[in-house]
Each structure stands twice: as structure tokens, then as C-alpha cells.
Amino acid sequence: MKRGWARARARLRRASGRAGEVRVGRRIASLAVCVLAGFMIATSAINAGGGDLRPNRNTDLAGLIQSESKRNADLADRVAKLRRDVDALAKDDGGGVAENDLRAAAVVAGQTPVKGPAVVVVIDDARSGVQPPGVSPELLVVHQQDIQAMVNALWSGGAEAMTIQGQRVTSRTGVKCVGNSVVLHGVPYAPPYEIAAIGDQDKLERALAGSPAVQVYRQYVTAYGLGYSQRRENAVTMPAYRGSLDVEARRIG
């Protein structure tokens, strides 16, 4: 009987010892976690310097667009100034035939202002609040392909110079849709979109009337209320192209 009690007490002592070891281990682990958390908080406070390390999830998209637009405009001003400097150097150095060749090339490339009779087309989204039953909202707004349709028709009609939203269009011009706006030479624009072309007005108007892509757009004008207007202007002055002239070649495949 005494031996049974002795064995029981021994088992209790061993169990008590293991429980004590577990409690000590938990206390050490808790202390380590607290020390690590305190270290991380202190490091974050030092790096923040009194600010907020968390990024703002609600980025001001409109503000970003405005800042990028101003940056592009500033860069365009610098490019225009550098071109004037280059033109001045060319006049001082070459003159004669070289200067005439440069001037002719500049006109073709859209590097000089031009003035002449023009046809102006304005396209716009459908009126706000207009939503015909069963019609996707995508069909009620102007897309880049609509602008491109007008541009292609006017070029095919013999346009000598062209602008979109007042920006000179050249072979390097690309129209891109970004959300509900169109980006041209890095600058975003909201509708309505104005496309102007200098040239023979009769030919330009016939080209617009005969373009299948323009005809499809005008069907949407009739069916869903998209905006379209067309007019003649006796004299329109178009600025020189102010974008980059860099050409980047890429290998495909």
C-alpha cells in the first residue's frame, strides 16, 4: 500500500514539473512576442518621421491627371523652345537650299503652324440620363475608334493639316481611351471631341459622307443620341506639333 502511495506521489511530482516547464515556456514566448512587437512599432515610428506609412487607397485620380497634364505641357514648351533654337542655328549655318528643304520638311511633318479653310467635326457622348432599354452604356459614349474614323476619313479626303482638341495631328499621333476620357500626346481630354482639317472643303465633306465607319457612327447618332455636328470654317490656324520626335525601334519575335 505504501509503495502505491509512493508511486502516485512520484507521478504527481513529475506531472507538476512538466506543467511548470510549460508555463515557463509560454511566459518566455509571450515576452519574446512583446519585445518583437515593440521593436517593430519603434522602427515604424522612426521611418514614418511623424507621417503615415500607409498609402492612401483613394488616390485622387483627377489630381494625378491634372499634374501629369501640366508636366506634359511643360515638356512640350521645352521641346518647342529647343526646336526654335535648332531652326535659328540652321538658318545661321546652312541657308539657301538647305533652309528651304528644312522648311518644306517641317510643313509635311507638322512642325510649323498653318492656316487655311477647314471642315470641323464635333462628336460627343449621348446626353446624360439617356439609357434606352436593353442598350449597353458602352454604346452611348465616344470611343477612340470613333475619333479615328473621323481622322481617317478626313485624311482620305486630302486633308493638308489636322488637329484634335487643338493639338496638331501627325503620323506619330495616337488616340487612346483611358476610362471615360481620351488621351492625346499624353494629355487626357473629356468629350466633346473636335477634329478640324484644313483642305478642299468639298472633298473633305465627301470623304466624311462616303466613309463606312463614319456612316455607322451616324447611325448610332440617330438611334441612341450620340453627338455629331459638322461645319465649315473659312480660316483656321493650326499650331505646330509639340510632341516628342523620338522614334523607338523594337524587335518583334
Sign of CA dihedral 134, 140, 144, 145: positive
Among 35-39, 133-137, 139-143, 239-243, which range has the highest average pLDDT? 139-143
R_g over Cα of the chain:
35
Give the per-residue pLDDT at 53.
45
What's the predicted TM-score (pTM) here?
0.58
What does the pLDDT read at residue 57? 41
- CA separation for the pair 137, 134 (Å, rounded): 9
Dihedral sign for Cα atoms in the order 173, 110, 91, 85: negative
Express each pLDDT in 24-68 by its tens digit: 556 666 666 666 666 666 665 555 555 544 444 444 555 666 666
Q: Contact at 8 Å (CB) between 225 and 127?
A: yes
